[in-house]
Amino acid sequence: MKPIKRVAIIFNPYSEESLRLSDEIAGWLTARSIQVWRGVSHEGRAQHAVDHTDLVLALGGDGTVLRAARLAIPAGVPVLPVALGRLNFMAELEPATLYEGLEDMLAGRFWLDSRTLVEATVQRADGITVAPILALNEIIVARGDINRTVLVDVEIYDARLTTYHADGVIVASATGSTAYALAAGGPIIDPRSTALVLVPVAAHLTNVPSLVLHEDAVVTLTLQSRHPAGFSADGHDHIALHEGDRVIVQRSQRCCTFARVYPQSTFYARMMQRLRRE
């Protein structure tokens, strides 16, 4: 692994702690002859600041990590998440361990954790296709503002599974199994797994529970109801869906890489603490 010479710091502009710590870390790194770019995620996208870095430091909760990952994935740059938010399942370091962890990183004492991404293609009923969209956590087809369930027909490969009458249907990566999919009743999967998980949201009149799917599974979600519905990827890329529209989801050939200084067992050692949000 090449030495770290350039670091991009992504902070949460609505968090005083994230603002303060990002400035403090920038000074600490600069004093060690590390080139630093510091800003929020939309600034990084506009200036392509992440493209020429060796590491993206994400200061915040899982939402900040997702925004940082959207910048880092196209550039192939690893992300180091620092827990400053309410939900921190993806975090590696905390403020108390931050500088010790950064010392390890600069000394080359770290490993790279490759995470599976999900990829979705929206096919309109009229034949128009929306370009593939990537997500680190999940793809969701869900009801719109009207308080009515949507009907979503589910096929896996080319076999029909069921039609969910639900608030929505989630297809998540293993990383996303601890996000919205978990809140909807899905299982927790080892985040290094390449499996996918299918989770209905508040489903009615069905005996089909959440499913863990093979990494090569292709899931087709077809909207069968006239009521408003929508598509989103990691809470972004919102697209209105109409009756007959299909969303085809599968594992992407691309991945997101996290920088880690602690062993692989850390996920399990911290899991109960994070579930209790202590």
62 in catalytic set: yes
Q: Is 131 helix (H, G, I), strand (E, B) or coil?
A: strand
For residue 44 the two structure tokens come to 């990084």
DSSP calls for 191-230: TT---EEEEEES-BS-----EEE-TT-EEEEEE--SS-EE
The CA-atom distances, in angstroms, between 158 and each of 116, 206, 223, 248, 275 are: 23, 20, 16, 11, 36
Q: What is the DSSP letter of 40?
A: -
Task: Residue 118: name the closest of 202, 229, 232 by CA.
Answer: 232
**Which of the following is catalytic: 54, 62, 234, 245?**
62
| CA 3 remoteness from chain centre | 26
25, amino acid identity: I
Residues annotated as catalytic (active site), given as ranges? 62
